[in-house]
Structures are given as structure tokens and as C-alpha cells.
């Protein structure tokens, strides 16, 4: 029964992350003129669904509990951490994967290599993180009740 008290926050946050992922499919269609449904479950891209959902959750907690609540402070801290990680650590890992894939391609030209390519789209640009956060805040305010 206590979970029901947070039902709206859980549902709105979940809808925010799903809709942000769907926006990635739409962005792909607009930029590549073809459909790629895999974008629904992939990381990286515009907007950052991690930033969107964490910003939505933080906004919903703020709207319900107020800016002085401990829960809001906790949510805000984790949102900042998630956004930093998305634009920093995961983005750097994606750059490393791209470089390693280029090295493997170069080596493959000289001899066969059986390694699979690494996933390069792991993190986000600062703009993708910012737009995800903005989307999450607007989404939360729009669906808050």
C-alpha cells in the first residue's frame, strides 16, 4: 500500500525514460531517413534518457516534498552524478572503444581477427545531457498531479 503513495512519481519517471528513448528513434529517422528500432534500447544519443528520467524524478520529488527535503537533496545529488557520468566517464569509454575498433580494423587488413567490434555509442555530449535534463524537467511538470 505504501508503494501506491509513490505511484505517480514512478509512472511519470518511467514514461519519461521510455519517451526519451522513443525520441532517439525519431531523431534517427530524421537524420538517416530509415528506421532503427534498436535505438529504443541503446545508450547514447539525443536526448540522454538517463538525464531525462533522473531530472524528472528530482523535479517530481521537488514538487511533492519541496526543495528543503532530504529526499530532494538525495535525488538532486544522484541526478548530478548521473549527468556527470553520462557526459564524462561513459563518453570517454565510447571514445576508447572507437579508437580500439579503428586499431582492430587496421590490424584486420593485415590478418584476420575474430574479435567483435566494441560498442562506441556509450555516453553523451554535454548538449545531449543538458537536453535530456531539460526534457525531464518539462515532462515532470507537464504530468505532475
List, as one string, the DSSP characters of 39-70: GGT-SSSSS-HHHHHHHHHHHHHHHHH-TTSH
Does a cis peptide bond (omega within 30 degrees of 0) precede residue 47? yes
Say whether 117 sits in a helix, a strand or coil: coil
CB 13 within 8 A of CB 56: yes
What confidence tens digit (pLDDT) does each residue in 73-92 have? 999 999 999 888 877 766 66
Say if residue 1's pLDDT is above 60. Answer: no
Provide the pLDDT confidence category of residue 134 given band limits of 50, 70 and 90. Answer: very high
**Domain spans of the chain?**
2-88+123-143
Mean pLDDT across the stretch 9-33? Answer: 90
- Range of 24-28, 43-47, 57-61, 94-98 with top mean pLDDT: 57-61
The reported pLDDT for the residue numbered 45 is 76
Q: And the C-alpha cell for 17?
A: 525514460
Mean pLDDT across the stretch 104-117? Answer: 65
CB 136 within 8 A of CB 51: yes
What confidence tens digit (pLDDT) does each residue in 44-64 have? 778 888 899 999 999 999 999
Amino acid at each position: 500500500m505504501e508503494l501506491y503513495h509513490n505511484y505517480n512519481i514512478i509512472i511519470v519517471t518511467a514514461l519519461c525514460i521510455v519517451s526519451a528513448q522513443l525520441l532517439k528513434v525519431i531523431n534517427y529517422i530524421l537524420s538517416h531517413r530509415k528506421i532503427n528500432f534498436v535505438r529504443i534500447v541503446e545508450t547514447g544519443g539525443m536526448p540522454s534518457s538517463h538525464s531525462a528520467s533522473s531530472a524528472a524524478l528530482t523535479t517530481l520529488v521537488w514538487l511533492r516534498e519541496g526543495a528543503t527535503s532530504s529526499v530532494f537533496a538525495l535525488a538532486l545529488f544522484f541526478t548530478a552524478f548521473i549527468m556527470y557520468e553520462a557526459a564524462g566517464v561513459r563518453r570517454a569509454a565510447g571514445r576508447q572503444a572507437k579508437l580500439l575498433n579503428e586499431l582492430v580494423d587496421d590490424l584486420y587488413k593485415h590478418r584476420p581477427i575474430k574479435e567483435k567490434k566494441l560498442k562506441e555509442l556509450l555516453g553523451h555530449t554535454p548538449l545531449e545531457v543538458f537536453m535530456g535534463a531539460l526534457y525531464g524537467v518539462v515532462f515532470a511538470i507537464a504530468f505532475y498531479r
